[in-house]
Amino acid sequence: MHTYTLRPDRFDRAGQDQLVDVRDLQAALPGIRRLRTWAHEALALQPGENAVDIGSGTGSEVMAFAEAVGPDGSAVGVEPDPHLLAAAERRATQAGSTAKFHSGDAYGLPFGADSFDAALCERVFQHLTAPARAANEIARVLRPGGRVVVVDSDWGTAIVHPGNRQVVREVIDTLVSATTNPLAGRRIPGLLTKAGLVIDDIGSQALVQERSVGAGSLVNRISAMAVARGVISEAQRDQLIADLQAGADSGDIHLSVTMFAILAHKPR
């Protein structure tokens, strides 16, 4: 249930390949697959349309867009990470896809106003310090009548079970504090509305961690941060990890976060 802030400057080639693998593993999560299906159905791309994926990662959704819009349309991805961008371009070439990719970020999309019939922005807003700027950029590049789906987590909805309620609360609060824009999921509709877009629908999906892994890497890391912050003790952390492992062994375990997908359009 963890989404990673990628820092390509910190990795060698093997590490860069691992980051690509991480993105692929995340995309394979059932919850993300379901929300992506929902997003594509909501956007309902037609042949000849122009579509953009903001934060396109390894390019899978841009290639799906390219197939939907056909030779008379265009599908482009915008990605700030040069290694993910290179992986996307390589995969598109290997697949014979017409998908194109550009370096850029959500704050300054490298396109003119009214350029796209449809846009997708998945798991980007939680990393933004100025999400309103990104919402305004989406509104700027959409054509009148154009639609967008923005997908993101709301870390305030995280569930960690079993465990002492107070300890769990402190760990979740630490997770929220460690995320740049932790409540992105619930705030996106308001941001898009303020940018001049009209909300049409909201979907949601819980991302549920594999039950057999116990605490998993995220809770292990965040609970260690909670100890460092002084909000729980080392003994309380050890007990939480033990409780979660016992829950995994008995089948009484649940770790999840809810993601939201917001469909909006630009008025004509």
Bridge pairing between strands 74-79 and 198-208: unpaired
Q: Which domains does the chain have, with CATH numbers?
A: 8-154+180-206+259-265 (3.40.50.150)
Bridge pairing between strands 254-265 and 198-208: antiparallel
Write out the DSSP string of 13-56: HHHHHHHHHHHHHHHTSHHHHHHHHHHHHHH---TT-EEEEET-
Bridge pairing between strands 100-103 and 116-122: unpaired
pLDDT per residue rounded down to tens, the chain (268 residues)? 333 333 333 333 443 443 344 444 465 578 888 999 999 999 999 999 999 999 999 999 999 999 999 999 999 999 999 999 999 999 999 999 999 999 999 999 999 999 999 999 999 999 999 999 999 999 999 999 999 999 999 999 999 999 999 999 999 999 999 999 999 999 999 999 999 999 999 999 999 988 998 998 889 999 999 999 999 999 999 999 999 999 999 999 999 999 999 999 999 9
pLDDT (0 to 100) of residue 31 = 86
Cα angle, residue 29 at apex, residues 70 and 51 outer, rounded to 5°:
25
Distance of CA 115 to the CA centre of its chain: 23
The secondary structure element, H or E, covering residue 147 is strand 142-161
pLDDT (0 to 100) of residue 27 = 58
Bridge pairing between strands 198-208 and 142-161: unpaired
Q: Are 74 and 97 in contact (CB under 8 A)?
A: no
